[in-house]
């Protein structure tokens, strides 16, 4: 296909598996197929039964393939933020010729400097999920996004490393491969999510995005376009459903239906007059329950989750970030969720719902984020990432890079604009100091979150 590439996102969620097939044509992403199947074999976002998850992935992929009318092989998959750690990393290597003279930097040097940055003592149960370069420094000249082709004797890489439990990474890869697919890229889920749920200003100045999933709730703090912090609470929408089932003495299926059809996140918003029949276990006749009573059950669990999030986020002063809180994920569809969150977090809260046709439900935000993120990965980022050995050099990625190269020629990316002083000594860059209010405000949190 000329000037187009196919990207596939795979979100292995506790409640459901979502797949999106998107076509990247002339710098625009068009979704051409999607799949969504209930998942079995996950607990609180973590794979606990590989065989079951493989079956669900296959089903979701098949649905998406049929809709798109193509067969897929390479997928970008998300990794949940369970026990995620975010660390700065730095590597330095000599790139000079044997006689000590300066040499042109190539891809192999980039791999070597990445390897140098990866040298660290991790506990045996942890591994590096992703490594993203912030900048390269060649002979003291910093702010370089891609050092290939430059000449120097010493190269450094400054970046961010995301580490997590080996078992999560291994099981995710295993499931994808057993489902007959290639792992094109493995992405820390909240990074991908924030690409779509937060707008450019929110990602820049700072905001909190909360993914209200079925098996877990994840809060992520983004500032200066980087993920700074995550907090994962191992409770989600499925716990709300279970509460409804227990309190009303009705089946899980019934409870789920009631939550979606009559539930409010805040009981004060629900009617104490409107009622609906509930099929109660062991009773012939259905019982009448008011929307208000149902919503009290929902609110109790949500308050508990939000209170825990508030405690963690408050400790790092995240509520001072100007972007406030953005809610997404399946439970964000619940009416009154923003009002409840606003009362607890005491900052501005909004709900993000994707606007893509057929996908206008917040459950899909994560998987849309994965394809969006895949299109934005630069060639240098992929070279650095492939040093980890966890992702394959993908045909699709390679093809896309040539496209993105063309795009970059026509229009510099934000990153390029931001670093258009690359290659100048540090002092010179600093002298280009933007002293305005916007600059100060934007950098207010730099030290705090670094």
Ligand X SMILES: Nc1ncnc2c1ncn2[C@@H]1O[C@H](COP(=O)(O)OP(=O)(O)OP(=O)(O)O)[C@@H](O)[C@H]1O
Q: Token pair for residue 262?
A: 């009559």
Residue placing its CB nearer to ligand X in the complex, 295 or 401: 295
The least CB distance from residue 305 to ligand X, in Å, is 11
Q: Which residue has the tokens 């919503």?
A: 295
Q: How far is the CB of 310 from ligand X (least distance, A)?
A: 19
User: Least Å distance between CB 295 and ligand X?
Assistant: 12
Whether the Cβ atoms of residue 130 and residue 187 lie closer than 8 Å to each other: yes
Pick one of Mg ion, ligand X, none as the site partner of residue 23 (Cβ within 5 to 8 A by kind). none
Q: How far is the CB of 54 from ligand X (least distance, A)?
A: 16
The smaller minimum CB distance to ligand X, of residues 32 and 353, is found at 353
**Residue 231 to residue 209: CA distance in whole angstroms:** 11
The option from Mg ion, ligand X, none interacting with 15 (CB < 5 to 8 A, set by class) reads ligand X
Q: Give the whole-angstrom CA distance, residue 390 versus residue 355.
A: 32
Q: Which is nearer to Mg ion, 13 or 263 (CB)?
A: 13
Shortest approach of Mg ion to residue 330 CB, angstroms?
7
Q: With the CA atoms of 434, 437, 439 and 441 taken in that order, what torsion angle do they form, in degrees rounded to the nearest 10?
A: 160
In the complex with ligand X, the residue whose CB is nearer, 366 or 387, is 366
Q: What angle do CA 203, 208, 213 make, to 5 degrees?
A: 115
Please state the closest distance from residue 356 (CB atom) to ligand X, in A: 16
How far apart CA 249 and CA 432 sit, in angstroms, is: 66
428 is in the binding site of which of ligand X, Mg ion, none (Cβ under 5 to 8 A by kind)?
none
Nearer of residues 162 and 449 to ligand X, judged by Cβ: 162
Tokens of 13: 């969620």
Query: What does 354 interact with, of Mg ion, ligand X, none (CB < 5 to 8 A by kind)?
Result: none
Q: By C-beta, is 214 or 324 nearer to ligand X?
A: 214
**SS3 label, residue 207:** strand
Out of Mg ion, ligand X, none, what residue 260 binds, judged by CB under 5 to 8 A for its kind, is: ligand X
Q: Which residue, judged by CB position, is nearest to ligand X in the bound state?
A: 330
- The CA distance from 77 to 95, in Å, is 34
CA distance 157 to 135: 6
Applying CB under 6 A, the residues found at the interface with ligand X are: 13-16, 45, 213-216, 236-238, 241, 256, 259-260, 329-331, 333-334, 363
CB of 216 to ligand X, least distance (A): 4
370 and 187 in contact (C-beta within 8 Å)?
Answer: yes
Number of Cβ within a 10 Å radius of residue 303: 16
- Cβ contacts of residue 331 below 8 Å, gap of 6+? 212, 213, 214, 236, 237, 240, 302, 337, 362
Minimum distance, C-beta of residue 210 to Mg ion, in the bound complex (Å): 12
List the single partner that 238 binds among ligand X, Mg ion, none, CB under 5 to 8 Å by kind: ligand X
Binding residues for Mg ion restricted to 358-387, rule: CB under 5 A: 366
Query: How many Å separate Cα 93 from the centre of its chain?
Result: 31
78 near Mg ion, judged by CB under 5 A? no
Going residue by residue from 2 to 41, which x/- string records binding to Mg ion, judged by CB under 5 A? -----------x----------------------------
Which CB atom, from 13 or from 33, has the smaller least distance to Mg ion? 13
C-beta neighbour count of 68 within 10 angstroms:
21
215 binds, among ligand X, Mg ion, none (CB under 5 to 8 A by kind): ligand X
41, 91, 152, 213: which one contacts Mg ion (CB under 5 A)?
213
DSSP 286: P
Tokens of 382: 């992929």
Closest to 302 in 3D by CA, of 274, 294, 352: 294
Q: Choose among ligand X, Mg ion, none what residue 159 binds, the Cβ cut-off being 5 to 8 Å by kind.
A: none
Binding site for Mg ion (CB under 5 A): 13, 213, 366
């Amino acid at each position: 296909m000329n000037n187009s590439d196919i990207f596939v996102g795979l979100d292995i969620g506790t409640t459901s598996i979502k797949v999106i097939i998107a076509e990247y044509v002339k710098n625009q992403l068009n979704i051409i197929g999607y799949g969504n199947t209930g998942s079995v074999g996950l607990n609180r976002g973590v794979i606990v039964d590989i065989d079951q998850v493989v079956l669900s992935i296959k089903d979701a992929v098949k649905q998406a393939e049929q809709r798109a009318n193509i067969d897929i092989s390479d997928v970008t998959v998300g990794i949940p933020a369970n026990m995620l750690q975010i660390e700065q990393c730095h590597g330095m290597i000599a790139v000079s010729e044997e006689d000590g003279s300066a040499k042109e930097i190539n891809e192999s040097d980039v791999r070597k400097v990445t390897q140098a940055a990866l040298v660290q003592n991790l506990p045996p149960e942890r591994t590096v999920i992703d490594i993203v370069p912030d900048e390269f420094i060649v002979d003291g000249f910093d702010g370089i996004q891609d050092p290939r082709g430059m000449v120097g004797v010493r190269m450094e890489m400054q970046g961010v490393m995301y580490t997590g439990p080996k078992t999560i990474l291994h099981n995710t890869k295993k499931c994808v491969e057993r489902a007959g697919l290639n792992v094109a890229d493995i992405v820390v889920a909240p990074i991908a999510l924030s690409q779509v749920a937060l707008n450019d200003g929110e990602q820049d100045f700072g905001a909190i995005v909360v993914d209200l999933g079925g098996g877990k709730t994840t809060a992520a703090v983004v500032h200066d376009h980087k993920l700074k912090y995550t907090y994962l609470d191992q409770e989600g929408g499925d716990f709300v459903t279970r509460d409804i089932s227990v309190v009303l003495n009705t089946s899980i299926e019934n409870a789920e239906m009631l939550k979606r059809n009559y539930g409010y996140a805040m009981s004060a918003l629900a009617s104490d007059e409107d009622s609906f029949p509930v099929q109660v276990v062991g009773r012939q006749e259905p019982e009448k329950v008011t929307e208000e009573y149902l919503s009290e059950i929902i609110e109790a669990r949500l308050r508990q989750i939000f209170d825990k999030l508030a405690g963690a986020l408050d400790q790092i002063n995240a509520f001072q970030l100007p972007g406030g809180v953005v809610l997404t994920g399946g439970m964000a569809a619940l009416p009154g969720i923003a009002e409840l969150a606003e009362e607890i977090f005491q900052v501005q809260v909004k709900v993000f719902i994707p606007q893509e046709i057929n996908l206008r439900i917040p459950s899909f935000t994560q998987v849309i984020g994965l394809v969006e993120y895949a299109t934005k990965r630069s060639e240098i980022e992929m070279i650095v990432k492939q040093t980890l050995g966890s992702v394959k050099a993908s045909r699709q990625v390679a093809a896309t890079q040539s496209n993105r190269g063309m795009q970059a020629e026509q229009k510099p990316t934000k990153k390029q604009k931001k670093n258009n002083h690359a290659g100048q000594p540090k002092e010179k860059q600093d002298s280009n100091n933007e002293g305005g209010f916007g600059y100060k405000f934007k950098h207010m949190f730099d030290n705090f979150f670094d």
